Amino acid sequence: MKNKTSFKGSVLLNPVPVVIVSSKNKKGISNVFTVAWTGTICTEPPMLSISIRPERLSYDFISETMEFIVNIPSRSLTWETDYCGVRSGRLHNKIEEMKFDMIPGSHVNVDYINQCPVNIECRVTKIIKLGSHDIFLAEVLQTHIKNEIIDENGKFCFEKANLISYCHGEYFPLSEAPIGKFGYSVVKSPKIIKEYKEKYGKFPLLSKKIKQK
Asked if 86 touches a copy of itself (CB under 8 A), the answer is yes
To a copy of itself, the closest distance from the beta carbon of 23 in angstroms equals 13
The span from the CA of 115 to the CA of 120, in Å, is: 13
Q: Which of 109, 128, 194, 195 binds a copy of itself (CB under 8 A)?
A: 128
Q: Which of 25, 65, 82, 160 binds a copy of itself (CB under 8 A)?
A: 82
Burial class (CB in 10 A: 0-12, 13-18, 19+), 77: buried
To a copy of itself, the closest distance from the beta carbon of 191 in angstroms equals 19
Asked if 17 touches a copy of itself (CB under 8 A), the answer is yes
Asked if 167 touches a copy of itself (CB under 8 A), the answer is yes
Asked if 189 touches a copy of itself (CB under 8 A), the answer is no
Peptide bond into 104 cis (omega under 30): no
Would you tell me how many other CB atoms lie within 10 Å of the CB of residue 87? 16
Q: Which of 127, 146, 160, 193 binds a copy of itself (CB under 8 A)?
A: 146
Asked if 92 touches a copy of itself (CB under 8 A), the answer is yes
Q: Which of 127, 142, 160, 193 binds a copy of itself (CB under 8 A)?
A: 142
Q: In the window 31-60, what residues touch a copy of itself (CB under 8 A)?
A: 31, 36-49, 51
Q: Which of 66, 127, 172, 193 binds a copy of itself (CB under 8 A)?
A: 172
Q: Which of 54, 132, 194, 195 binds a copy of itself (CB under 8 A)?
A: 132
Asked if 93 touches a copy of itself (CB under 8 A), the answer is yes
Phi, psi of 141 (to 5 degrees): -100, -40
Q: Residues near 73 by Cβ (< 8 Å), separated by ≥ 6?
A: 18, 19, 20, 80, 81, 116, 163, 164
Asked if 109 touches a copy of itself (CB under 8 A), the answer is no
The span from the CA of 88 to the CA of 60, in Å, is: 13
C-beta of 28 vs 190, nearer to a copy of itself: 28
Asked if 192 touches a copy of itself (CB under 8 A), the answer is no
Around 113, how many Cα atoms within 13 Å sit in the side-chain half-sphere?
31
The three-state secondary structure class of 164 is: strand
Q: Residues near 129 by Cβ (< 8 Å), separated by ≥ 6?
A: none
Provide the pairing of β-strand 47-52 with 38-42: antiparallel
Asked if 16 touches a copy of itself (CB under 8 A), the answer is yes
The three-state secondary structure class of 193 is: helix
